[in-house]
Amino acid sequence: MSIQYENLKFGENGLIPVITQDIVTNEVLMLAYANLNAIKKTIETGFAHYWSRSRKKLWMKGETSGNTQRVVRILTDCDNDTLIYMVKQKGVACHTGERTCFHREVWSIDEYRKNGRGVEDGGRQ
C-alpha cells in the first residue's frame, strides 16, 4: 500500500523522524529528521536529504563528505509519523568514520550471562 507523502504527519516543528537503513546489510545507519521539502528533494534527486536541526537548513547527506545515500525506497510506519529511507550507502554513514551511527552498545543480554543468569529466566530476579 502506498501513501501520498503530503499525508504524512509532521510534528509541530514541521519535522518527521527518519530512520536510515542500509538496503544491502539491513543495518540501521542513522536517525535524522526531514521536513516536507527534504522529502521532496529526496524523491526529486534520489539522494537522501534531511533537515539539520542544529544548522537549521536543508541538508543532502554527503554534500561535504561525499558519503551520499542513494535512496531506493521510502517507507512510513502505521501512524504515518516516522519514515525509513532504505539506501545504498556510499562510504560510511557516521561522521566519526564508523559505518553506522549506532556503533556503541549500551547494553546486551551478555550482561546477564556474566552474572550467571541465562536468557531463559529473562535475567529477572
Cα–Cα distance between 16 and 35 in angstroms, integer? Answer: 6
111 sits in which H/E element = helix 110-114
Q: Which is nearer to Zn ion, 49 or 76 (CB)?
A: 49
Binder of Zn ion out of 15, 19, 28, 101 (CB under 5 A): 101
The verdict on 19 binding Zn ion (CB under 5 A) reads no
Look at the block and give the residue holding cell 544548522.
Answer: 55
Whole-Å CA distances, 65 to 60, 79, 109: 10, 33, 36
Nearest approach in angstroms of CB 5 to Zn ion is 26
Q: Which is nearer to Zn ion, 8 or 38 (CB)?
A: 38
Judged by CB under 5 A, the chain residues 56 through 95 that form the site for Zn ion are 94
Cα–Cα distance between 69 and 46 in angstroms, integer? Answer: 8
Q: At 113, is the secondary structure helix, strand, or coil?
A: helix
Q: Which is nearer to Zn ion, 84 or 94 (CB)?
A: 94
Q: Which is nearer to Zn ion, 83 or 93 (CB)?
A: 93
Nearest approach in angstroms of CB 60 to Zn ion is 16
Nearest approach in angstroms of CB 67 to Zn ion is 11
Nearest approach in angstroms of CB 75 to Zn ion is 21
CB count within 10 Å of CB 33 equals 19
Per CB under 5 A, residues contacting Zn ion are: 94, 101
